[in-house]
Amino acid sequence: EAGVAQSPRYKIIEKRQSVAFWCNPISGHATLYWYQQILGQGPKLLIQFQNNGVVDDSQLPKDRFSAERLKGVDSTLKIQPAKLEDSAVYLCASSALGVGPRRAEAFFGQGTRLTVV
Amino acid sequence: ELKVEQNPLFLSMQEGKNYTIYCNYSTTSDRLYWYRQDPGKSLESLFVLLSNGAVKQEGRLMASLDTKARLSTLHITAAVHDLSATYFCAVAPRLTGTASKLTFGTGTRLQVTL
């Protein structure tokens, strides 16, 4: 089974520039998450989709971050304009709905490491 | 707001020794996960704990959950160098019909020395 795919793996931009990240979740997973992981910290949820609807975006800095999940499959996360403090690893994860002991378990992609200079 | 605290934040231990990592959380939870993260890599799921008293073991790692104390432990037995990584616990609040977000602890960086 293919895992969660993310691209690019690395990105370096100057502050005030814009950047976009792409995520392809595990096939059939209805729920998709974007997490931000700052160096030395645990991941923090930015936004959660179920199919193509937003479930939780309470921690998304909406003045500069946006995300979409068209057709309920792939997703993109955009930052515009970027700030120095946005330097982090952006992790995409997906999970399946349903019952069972491992229901809603999140599987993570390799992440995109963003450096803002 | 759900808070998750881990301790210690950093752990240096010799091969062959035993140690425990602790994870405390602040509100009622439906599920607790333990993840491993190697430097520059993504998160690998280790254990899912679903009920009070749950215990899971894989190799030299054993995880347990006490929902009344809101505490999970990850016990390392006879550590080996390959276990060096950062370990995160993550907690999900009770499911309400949709998949719930995870709140992660700060992580415990484990370094096993020869």
Output b/e per residue, B35-69; b: 16+ Cβ within 10 A: bbbeeeebbeebbbbeeeebebeeeebbbbbebee
Residue A26 has pLDDT above 60, yes or no: yes
Fold of B4-113: Immunoglobulin-like (2.60.40)
Please tell me the total number of residues recorded for chain B in this structure.
Answer: 114
What pLDDT, on the 0 to 100 scale, is given for residue B99?
Answer: 58
The CATH number linked to A80 is 2.60.40.10
Q: Judge whether A76 lies within some domain.
A: yes
Residue from B4, B98, B106 to probe the interface with A (highest A Cβ count within 10 Å): B98
Residue A103 covered by a domain: no
Cross-chain Cβ contact A111/B42 below 8 Å: yes
Contact B79, B26 (CB under 8 A): no
A43 contacts in B (CB within 8 Å)? 43, 88, 102, 104
Q: Domain range holding A32? A: 5-97+108-116
Are the Cβ atoms of B90 and A42 closer than 8 angstroms? yes
Number of cross-chain residue pairs from A and B with Cβ atoms under 8 Å apart: 61
Q: Is residue A25 part of a domain?
A: yes
**Could you tell me the two tokens for A97?**
């709905």
Domain contains A102? no
Q: Which of B76, B84, B40, B29 is nearest to A10 (CA)?
A: B40
Q: Distance between CA atoms of A44 and A85, rounded to whole angstroms?
A: 14
User: Based on the structure, what is the number of domains in chain A?
Assistant: 1
**Positive or negative: CA dihedral A35, A5, B74, B67:** positive
Would the pLDDT of B40 be above 70? yes
Of A22-36, A65-79, A93-107, B80-94, least confident by mean pLDDT is A93-107
